Amino acid sequence: MKPVLAVTRRLPDAVAKRAAESYDIRTQEDDDPLTRAEILALCHGADAALVSVGDPIDAEFFDHLSDSVKIVATFSVGTDHIDLAAAKKKGVIIGNTPGVLTDATADIAWLLILGAARRASEGEAEVRNATWSSWRPTHLMGTQVTGKKLGIVGMGRIGQAVARRARGFDMDIHYYNRRQLPADQEMGATYHDSIEGLLPHCDFLSLHCPSTPETRGMVNTDFISKLPDGAIIVNTARGDVVNDKDLIAALKSGKLTAAGLDVFAGEPNIEPAYRDLANTFLLPHLGSATVETRNAMGFRALDNIDAFVAGKDVPFTV
């Protein structure tokens, strides 16, 4: 008999095919988010679980999780949706998918930078809604990207990939990281040993930091006040590093020219005021959404489960 694998969301075709070769798959009929109770029912008597961003894998989940489940693999790098302390207490291994979504996420960061700077949402809406009347000298004038200063908070794999792309736009790159990188990884960027030291040097600011007690709500009124007037913020990190009300106030006041956001606190139930702002470029958490990247993430999640079932070390654990 094949081991039973509980899967909470529909998988990419290639990942689903590989999973079905090794496991008796137990999953839902559609692709709607499941409640905690529904996930627990899916996991009852299973050998492993494959969960996703947004699933409520919290302390209550582990309190009621079937004892047969000894590994939970998440289809993500981030584990904000998982109570890691509760998992450890339960004796459940948590696997994630690092190292395979760097380029896709960096590409989306650049889509946000360009889209926010060049008022792409407004322009696309005019064409789509047939409200574009003519070319004219003052029509939808945006912000030049080339040659400007780019600040990066978090110079890990994705931050470095964003910096590499910025070189093609002749940008002056500045970054904050918990430690300074070796010179061969800095892409010629200037290191700042504090976020406060970085912010005055950011015409554009790209966020690539994890969600931690220290970073949650970090982008607030005080933080924004240290940026140059007219700066542009983009976020492909975690939604909760931004204080939504403070960011919205800065966008309304003109302190910030624009924001490009791919992640949100409480997504998909985002702060409604974002939708009413012309100077926001908004995406529905598409950072890793390429066929190649999502397949790689799924394969990495299955690598974790395969190793555990075979009695080997799980390669990517949290």
Low-confidence ranges of the chain (pLDDT < 70): none
pLDDT at 55: 96
> β-strand 149-153 against 172-176: which pairing, if any?
parallel
pLDDT at position 144 is 98
**Span(s) in the chain for CATH 3.40.50.720:** 4-100+291-309, 102-282
CA distances from 93 to 57, 109, 310 (A): 13, 31, 14
Provide CB contacts within 8 A for 178, sequence distance 6+: none
Of 38, 122, 267, 271, which is the active-site residue? 267
Q: What pTM was estimated for this model as a whole?
A: 0.94
pLDDT at 31: 87
Angle at 302 between CA 212 and CA 156, to 5 degrees: 35
The answer to whether the CB of 235 falls within 8 A of the CB of 241 is yes
* Domain formed by 102-282, architecture: 3-Layer(aba) Sandwich (3.40)
The CATH code belonging to domain 4-100+291-309 is 3.40.50.720
Which residue out of 285, 292, 294, 300 is catalytically annotated? 285
Residue 208 tokens read as: 């690539």
The single residue of 238, 275, 292, 300 carrying the catalytic annotation is 238
What integer pLDDT is reported at residue 29 of this predicted model? 82
pLDDT in tens, 167-191: 999 999 999 999 999 999 999 999 9
Residue 30: the pLDDT is 85
CA distances from 36 to 30, 77, 144, 315 (A): 16, 21, 46, 27
Could you say which DSSP state residue 256 is in?
E
Encode 125-161: b = buried (16+ Cβ within 10 Å), e = exposed.
Answer: eeeeeeeeeeeeeeeeebbebeebbbbbbbbbbbbbb
| Calculated CA dihedral for residues 214, 187, 169, 120, nearest 10 degrees | -30
Query: What pLDDT sits at residue 19?
Result: 98
Look up 174 and say whether it is catalytic: no
Active-site residue, 44 included: no
Per-residue pLDDT at 117: 98
How far is it, in rounded angstroms, from Cα 233 to Cα 277? 14
- Answer yes or no: are the C-beta atoms of 42 and 6 closer than 8 Å: yes
